[in-house]
């Protein structure tokens, strides 16, 4: 870096550096005095207010900007370092980033926490008040979006060159409220008061085109194709810093926002399609307006395809423009890997082909060689309905050239398949990128699999099922293409920030190294045998429960009862995740008390906490939310229960709430039907915070159980092969209803209207669905689940033994750091070593 590149005020030390400052370059805020000065400067000159007249929001902005200023020198330096080194980097393409609040994370990464606290104390400002001002950017639905956020955190911490690319939705995931127990969605206007963390660069906008037609032309004897689009939009990049943990590295998250272009497309105008052009311009800004709130069930809406192409095309252009003049495109794979986070960005494959063939005039085969090496694909599901398809009709209308390219990719692919397997028409039909039923459509997962250098699942079991069940023909055709990378979560946010008490306890025992080398948590195993450590661990858990109770009280007027086991199920509401199974357990416990078969005093006191948003159009899921709330109202108010069971459902589960809930939990509910949850990451967060898991043999639960040991995990339910066998035999849920008294009583109680003021019709659909359909085999796993819950109750009686198990869960789950996931991707898929 040349000194003149960066303003002296931010590049040079202003005095003695704090021990945690990132030598050799200290920012302006690296002393308490420096922090105060910079904070006041930002308040006065950026917000335009004196301290005495500033609002909480002004102070939050000035505070955030001060942290930002400190990181800025490093960011500029890192961007330049990456440009100069010309090293290979990762372009992570993801339609979702569920970031969570930024302030504390960036304070932690910069090591400014203590200085900032002192500085604010000196100003008489409560940091908590400022924290509360930040609205988390909810630019994702759930696990998939949160995974992207964990991954970019880990890449920065590892020092690997990475740009995260996505969409700056103006409205993120809706804010959930309840009215009479039913979900009501409110718009999430997270940008209403602005965001101190984003840097718009309108001058670097990309023009993204849509629609129109293609034509061929003669290019000095070569016939080429060009795309003549009908309308266009501007993609304006907004940059966000992604700081590594105390390593002075800062990567970039670049989110695109759509704007109307004001240029008039003369061609469209002259062709007489004036109305089409004007209409399209009017709708331009809609593209990045709102995140689709569907999780695992994409709707195939045109706007969604527009969003996908919009951000992927802008990102690829953005990257290509960053290459030096005269760059040999054959060397592209040595410079970049585009990682496809699920199928949402797969349209990038034909886009890169289009650029290479139509614009850069490469031969098709050469372009295909390059493209195949530049992409890798992560599959996130096993549910057939979650595998994205686009109707040929729609895709051809919106992206006519891309459809032609997809057809050609498919044609050549099927020729190769035929060469290999012969004229096996059924197999060819099964493998074709173009599906025929129920309508002609492009199977995006197939396109990604054909194009990707690697295809990975997200947990061992998931990757195995992907190869054996979802894409077996492809696995046979492409030996070595399929691999597994088990998901992970960032320990900075999900342990250090969310659970400071536990973090301090761990650091006191084994030092700080664990935060960037999570396997070192193994060193805690011996402490599980130390009674005084167990006592400290238990008191941290108790303190976390009290803190949660305070948060829930302030937020929703809810209270966690003292001395209760905290039993938590937080994740998107989806039938496959089986919140209904959890609810049947609660109703069973409740019914056994009110029927007098069990004395309330003999029930292990539990507070059940749910957190879950349902997609607005997902009727069954919304009914289940209603039922959970209805059961909660009845159970919590029934004196016969003597307060020993309590059901809480704080609305609007998001990252901020997760950070409070998870460290307080005793029991983690991971109860999806085996073979349905690809990995889960909530399960990892809980285990790392010392909750025991009750779970099925599904997703990453399998690996958690292997690591923590059977004695420290409550396993129940059918295995995936057992599920398959039961389907094959013919699953009749009513048989299970008939065979289990507890189940029958619980179902009958719901059906009786006991939770709907006597109105039997309200929850009749929920009951019928279980009795006559039950796609996710809730009834089949009920008895096994209830038996496992009895073991949980028994185990909880011995608090010291429970704590012992909880410590072993923490000690043995270091594997689930997203740093490890990133190392796996780097070694096996990306080949992008850290830039030193
Ligand atoms: C981790 C996380 C998820 C994913 O949870 P699963 O239990 O793996 O589905 C969803 N939402 C939020 C806010 C999270 O932090």
Does 269 have pLDDT greater than 70? no
Q: Which of 571, 623, 644, 660 is catalytic?
A: 571
Average pLDDT over the chain reads 94
**Each residue's pLDDT tens digit, 724-766:** 999 999 999 999 999 999 999 999 999 999 999 999 999 999 9
How far away, in angstroms, is 216 Cα from ligand 1 center? 48
| Exposed/middle/buried for residue 131 (C-beta within 10 Å: 0-12, 13-18, 19+) | middle
DSSP classification of residue 322: T
How far away, in angstroms, is 195 Cα from ligand 1 center? 24
How far away, in angstroms, is 482 Cα from ligand 1 center? 25
Q: How confident is the model at residue 10 (pLDDT cuts 50, 70, 90)?
A: very low
Paired tokens of 778: 């809730």
Q: Which residues face 257 on adjacent strands?
A: 236
Tell me how far apart the terminal alpha carbons of the chain are, to the nearest angstrom.
15
CB atoms within 10 A of CB 793: 15
Catalytic residue list contains 685: yes
How far away, in angstroms, is 417 Cα from ligand 1 center? 39
Does 407 have pLDDT greater than 70? yes
Matching residue, tokens 């492409």: 478
Ligand 1 atom nearest residue 699's Cα: 8
Q: Which residues face 609 on adjacent strands?
A: 568, 648
Q: Which of 74, 254, 534, 572 is catalytic?
A: 572
Q: Which of 670, 719, 711, 725 is nearest to 693 (CA)?
A: 670
Question: What residue ranges in 643-730 does DSSP mark as E strands?
Answer: 645-648, 667-670, 692-695, 713-715
Q: Which of 153, 799, 115, 121 is nearest to 516 (CA)?
A: 153
For residue 5, the model assigns a pLDDT of: 53
Mean pLDDT (whole number) for 355-377: 98
Instruction: Note the residue count of the chain.
Output: 836
C-alpha to C-alpha distances, 242 to 102, 111, 282, 789, 792, nearest whole angstrom: 10, 14, 34, 41, 40
Q: Which residues line ligand 1 (CB under 6 A)?
A: 142-143, 146, 571-572, 654-655, 658, 680-682, 685
Q: Which of 354, 545, 577, 585 is catalytic?
A: 577
Q: What is the crossing angle of helices 799-812 and 701-708, to 10°? A: 110
Three-class secondary structure of residue 203 per DSSP: helix
Ligand 1 atom nearest residue 685's Cα: 1
How far, in Å, CA of 630 to CA of 615, rounded? 19
How far, in Å, CA of 748 to CA of 754, rounded? 9
**pTM, to two decimals:** 0.95
111 neighbors 18 (Cβ within 8 angstroms): yes
Catalytic residue list contains 571: yes
Catalytic residue list contains 344: no
Catalytic residue list contains 380: yes
* Lowest pLDDT segment from 259-268, 766-775, 800-809: 259-268
Residue in 142, 291, 488, 573 to alter for ligand 1 test, most ligand atoms within 8 A of Cβ: 142
322 neighbors 407 (Cβ within 8 angstroms): no
CB atoms within 10 A of CB 129: 12
For residue 26, the model assigns a pLDDT of: 44
For residue 274, the model assigns a pLDDT of: 72
Q: Which of 147, 153, 33 is nearest to 97 (CA)?
A: 147
Q: Which of 607, 681, 693, 803 is catalytic?
A: 681
For residue 8, the model assigns a pLDDT of: 44
**Each residue's pLDDT tens digit, 478-504:** 999 999 999 999 999 999 999 999 999
Residue in 148, 681, 686 to alter for ligand 1 test, most ligand atoms within 8 A of Cβ: 681
> How is the chain split into domains, by residue range?
504-823
443 neighbors 433 (Cβ within 8 angstroms): yes
Residue in 96, 138, 146, 656 to alter for ligand 1 test, most ligand atoms within 8 A of Cβ: 146
How far away, in angstroms, is 817 Cα from ligand 1 center? 15
For residue 29, the model assigns a pLDDT of: 67
Mean pLDDT (whole number) for 175-204: 97
Paired tokens of 300: 């195939």
711 neighbors 692 (Cβ within 8 angstroms): no
How far does Cα 203 stand from its chain's mean position? Answer: 30
Q: List, as one string, the DSSP characters of 281-339.
A: HHHGGGTTTB----SS-----HHHHHHHHHHHHHHHHHHHHTSPTT--GGGGGGTEEEE
For residue 1, the model assigns a pLDDT of: 36
Instruction: Look up the CATH number of domain 504-823.
Output: 3.40.50.2000
Ligand 1 atom nearest residue 680's Cα: 8
DSSP classification of residue 290: B
How far away, in angstroms, is 135 Cα from ligand 1 center? 18
C-alpha to C-alpha distances, 103 to 63, 75, 113, 643, 660, nearest whole angstrom: 9, 16, 10, 38, 16
How far away, in angstroms, is 571 Cα from ligand 1 center? 5
Residue in 97, 98, 139 to alter for ligand 1 test, most ligand atoms within 8 A of Cβ: 98
Mean pLDDT (whole number) for 779-793: 98
Does 91 have pLDDT greater than 80? yes
CB atoms within 10 A of CB 427: 17
Q: What is the crossing angle of helices 103-110 and 113-123, to 10°? A: 120
Q: What is the crossing angle of helices 764-772 and 778-797, to 10°? A: 100
Catalytic residue list contains 572: yes
Q: How confident is the model at residue 300 (pLDDT cuts 50, 70, 90)?
A: confident
Q: Which of 380, 545, 574, 626 is catalytic?
A: 380
For residue 529, the model assigns a pLDDT of: 98
How far away, in angstroms, is 703 Cα from ligand 1 center? 18
């Amino acid at each position: 870096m040349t000194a003149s590149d960066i303003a002296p005020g931010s590049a040079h030390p202003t005095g003695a550096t704090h021990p945690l400052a990132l030598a050799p370059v200290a920012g302006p805020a690296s002393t308490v005095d420096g922090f105060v000065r910079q904070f006041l400067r930002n308040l006065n000159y950026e917000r335009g207010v004196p301290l005495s007249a500033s609002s909480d929001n002004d102070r939050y902005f000035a505070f955030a900007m001060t942290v930002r200023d400190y990181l800025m020198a490093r960011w500029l330096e890192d961007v330049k370092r990456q440009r100069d080194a010309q090293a290979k980097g990762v372009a992570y393409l993801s339609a979702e980033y569920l970031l969570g609040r930024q302030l504390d994370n960036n304070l932690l990464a910069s090591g400014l926490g203590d200085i900032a606290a002192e500085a604010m104390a000196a100003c008489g400002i409560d940091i908590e008040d400022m924290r509360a001002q930040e609205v988390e950017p909810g630019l994702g639905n759930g696990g998939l979006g949160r995974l992207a956020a964990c991954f970019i955190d880990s890449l920065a911490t590892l020092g690997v060159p990475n740009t995260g690319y996505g969409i700056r939705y103006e409205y993120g995931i809706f804010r959930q409220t309840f009215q009479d127990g039913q979900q009501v969605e409110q718009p999430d206007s997270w940008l209403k008061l602005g965001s101190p963390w984003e840097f718009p660069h309108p001058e670097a906008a990309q023009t993204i085109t849509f629609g129109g037609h293609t034509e061929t032309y003669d290019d000095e004897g070569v016939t080429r194709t060009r795309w003549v689009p009908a309308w266009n939009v501007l993609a304006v990049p907004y940059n966000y810093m992604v700081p590594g943990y105390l390593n002075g590295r800062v990567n970039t998250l670049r989110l695109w926002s759509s704007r109307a272009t004001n240029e008039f497309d003369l061609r469209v105008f002259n062709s007489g399609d004036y109305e089409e052009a004007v209409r399209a311009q009017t709708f331009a800004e809609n593209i990045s307006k709102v995140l689709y709130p569907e999780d695992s069930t994409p709707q195939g809406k045109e706007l969604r395809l527009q969003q996908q192409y919009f951000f992927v095309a802008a990102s690829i252009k953005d990257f290509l423009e960053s290459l030096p003049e005269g760059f040999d495109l054959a060397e592209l794979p040595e410079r970049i890997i585009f990682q496809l986070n699920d199928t949402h960005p797969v349209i990038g494959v034909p886009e890169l082909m289009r650029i290479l063939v139509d614009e850069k005039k490469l031969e098709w085969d050469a372009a295909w060689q390059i493209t195949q090496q530049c992409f890798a694909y992560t599959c996130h599901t096993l549910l057939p309905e979650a595998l994205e398809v686009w109707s040929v009709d729609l895709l051809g209308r919106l992206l006519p050239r891309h459809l032609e390219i997809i057809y050609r990719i498919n044609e050549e692919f099927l020729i190769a398949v035929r060469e290999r397997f012969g004229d096996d028409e059924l197999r060819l039909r099964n493998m074709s990128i173009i599906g025929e039923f129920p309508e002609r459509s492009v199977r995006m997962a197939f396109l990604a699999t054909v194009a990707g250098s690697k295809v990975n699942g997200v947990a061992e079991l998931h990757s195995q099922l992907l190869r054996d069940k979802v894409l077996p023909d492809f696995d046979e055709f492409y030996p070595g293409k399929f691999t597994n990378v088990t998901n992970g979560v960032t320990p900075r946010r999900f342990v250090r920030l969310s659970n400071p008490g536990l973090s301090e306890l761990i650091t006191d025992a084994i030092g700080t190294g664990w935060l960037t080398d999570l396997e070192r948590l193994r060193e805690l195993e011996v402490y599980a045998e130390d009674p005084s450590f167990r006592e400290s661990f238990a008191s941290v858990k108790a303190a976390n429960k009290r803190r949660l109770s305070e948060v829930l009280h302030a937020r929703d007027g809810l209270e966690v009862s003292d001395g209760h086991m905290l039993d938590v199920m937080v994740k998107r509401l989806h039938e496959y995740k089986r919140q209904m199974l959890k609810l049947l357990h609660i109703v069973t416990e409740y019914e056994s008390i009110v029927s007098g078969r069990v004395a309330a005093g003999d029930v292990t006191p539990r507070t059940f906490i749910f957190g879950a948003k349902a997609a607005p159009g997902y009727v069954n899921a919304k009914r289940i939310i209603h039922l959970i709330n209805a059961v909660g109202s009845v159970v919590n108010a029934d004196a016969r229960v003597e307060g020993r069971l309590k059901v809480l459902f704080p609305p609007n589960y998001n990252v901020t709430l997760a950070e409070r809930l998870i460290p307080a939990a005793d029991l983690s509910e991971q109860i999806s039907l085996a073979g349905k949850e690809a990995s889960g990451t909530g399960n990892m967060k809980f285990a790392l915070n010392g909750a025991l898991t009750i779970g099925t043999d599904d997703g990453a639960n399998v690996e958690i159980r292997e690591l923590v040991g059977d004695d420290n995990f409550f396993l129940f339910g059918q295995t995936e092969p057992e599920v398959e066998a039961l389907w094959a035999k013919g699953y009749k849920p009513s048989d299970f209803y008939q065979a289990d008294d507890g189940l029958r009583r619980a179902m009958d109680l719901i059906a009786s209207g006991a939770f709907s003021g006597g109105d039997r019709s309200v929850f009749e659909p929920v009951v019928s669905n279980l009795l006559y359909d039950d796609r996710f085999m809730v009834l089949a796993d009920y008895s096994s689940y209830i038996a496992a819950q009895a073991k949980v109750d028994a185990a909880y009686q011995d608090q010291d033994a429970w704590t012992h198990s909880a410590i072993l869960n923490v000690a043995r789950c270091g594997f689930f750091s997203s740093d490890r996931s990133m190392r796996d991707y780097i070694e096996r898929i990306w080949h992008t070593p850290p830039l030193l």
